[in-house]
Chain A
Amino acid sequence: MPHTASDTDEARPLVQLRGIVKSFGHHTVLTDVDLTVNRGEHVVIFGPSGSGKSTLLRSINLLEYPTSGSVCVDGIEYGPGIAGETPTARGKARDLRERVGMVFQQFNLFPHLTALDNVSIALRRVKGISRAKADELAAQQLDRVGLGAKLASYPSMLSGGQQQRVAIARALVMDPSVMLFDEPTSALDPEMVGEVLAVMRELAATGMTMIVVTHEMGFAREIGDQNVFMDAGCIVEQGGREIFERPAEERTRTFLEAIIP
């Protein structure tokens, strides 16, 4: 992926979350979460269901608007900000989302559009690229994920694994700085998990910055530069690969023992 970045850009974190709080009424889902992601880093977020990991991921592109806290991507601040801090100029959610690609658990492909149009529609309607050019770029992305022969297929005619690969191409075609994956293989039949993970693995090898919420611990061990264990709306522990072998916290150990046979 071509990405033009100056030296100063390289030095500072690509994504920085500070003091993210999210509550629904009296129920607090995220309690004051901080997370720093450097360019090219692969972050894995794991933890029990209801721990807030998806909410945290979704707050990065403001799909979940934090109750308070700051989201900083590529040096621009978004979100409501931190109480007490002097407010700074804030970017618009739409500008943020042009830099942040997202892949969903349920794929969320547009069922009324072909695979090609699923990928090219945002280029045309959001970025204003001509249909011919958008088709070209979209076809290339679909070819990258191994679906160069499925351009004319509608989502209903594709397997789950193929649909998720279209979804990855759809996010990649926007040329994002960072890709978010929200349990991308959880809705797949077991035999299709591999093809999606293979695409993600190769994407990681290209140096794409990735933040992945997943239960695939084998995959996490493989690509996770920074691994984040969440429970009850907080980051309990984070670290490199050693977190899987020698977790420092009891809660992390219990969770890993429960899910790794």
Chain B
Amino acid sequence: MTEFKWSVVFDNADVFLQGLVLTLQLSAVSAVIATVLGLVVALGRMSPFKPLAWLSLGFINVVRAIPPFVLIIYVYYGISMALGINFSAFTAGVIALSLQYTAWIAEVYRSGIEAVPVGQHEAASSLAFGKLGAFVTIILPQALRIVIPPLGNNLVGLVKDSSLVSFIGVVELVRNSQLLVSQTFRPFEIYTATVVLYLAITVVISLVFTWLEKRYSTKRPTNGKQPRLSRARLRRLLDLEQRLVATRDENRLASNSTTSLTAPPL
């Protein structure tokens, strides 16, 4: 029995930090692109303009079918050969991860948008909202609330898949660990530290998404509080309520002599 030697982890803390920073950069850039582009592709997929719908559906199905590792290779070697453009391994990694997760997240958005009850569309239409107005004001805000948990899942997946970019030489967390192992011959300690770092990232992501879910929930709050109203807005509404009470009393007093200009009570 040999003993664990955790000092290799702490002695190389700066190396881990470099890897962590690169993983975070890679994931963050890709996550932002995929979250935005995913919505665009989802809208294309649901477009009444058929060629756009087919194009989006084709993109989603093809990209989802390609293993992430292969997609990274394709982007790094394939596109540079086909188009004669050279990009860094980091850029290739961002493109591949963004493409892959755009496809997944597009389907997440679509399911969220389609989960908004038809009655919401009807209510918006009956109030003379146009298609775009109804989507932006009524449908999308509800769809975004629905997709918060699955979006969080996908971003956790994205962070883990970012490790595949190590194959084309981006020295992120996993590649870093491989290099450290080859120097120290301490795979267990090194990879355990790596896992702890990934765990830290994913825990932060889940905490953020749990908070978002709670913050924007439309369910009946159990504590009777109104978490979503800004303080200024709440103050404005309470002020309006008080003014209603005041004018109501006024009208009541005046009702014998003059006709009230405000709407009669129902």
Contact = CB atoms under 8 A, between A and B. Distances in A.
Nearest to A180: B126
B241 A104 contact: no
Given A112-B141, A125-B133, A145 B266 contact: yes
A29 interface: no
Interface in B229-266: 229, 234, 236-238, 240-241, 243-245, 248, 262-266
B127 A122 contact: yes
Contact of A143 (B130, B142, B216, B244): B244
Interface residues of B, number: 41
A223 to B, nearest CB: 14
Given A140-B262, A140-B263, A108 B240 contact: no
Given A104-B122, A156-B220, A174-B128, A144 B265 contact: yes
Interface residues of A, number: 50
Contacts of A135: 236, 240
B240 A139 contact: yes
B229 A114 contact: yes
B67 interface: no
Given A156-B220, A202-B266, A139 B241 contact: yes
Contact of A149 (B126, B145, B216, B241): B241
A249 interface: no
B222 to A, nearest CB: 11
Nearest to B138: A110
A106 B120 CA distance: 10
The list of the 3 closest CB pairs from A to B, nearest first, reads: A108-B123, A111-B218, A122-B127
15 contacts: A93-B125, A98-B128, A100-B126, A104-B122, A114-B229, A122-B128, A122-B129, A146-B265, A148-B248, A151-B237, A151-B240, A152-B229, A152-B234, A157-B221, A157-B224
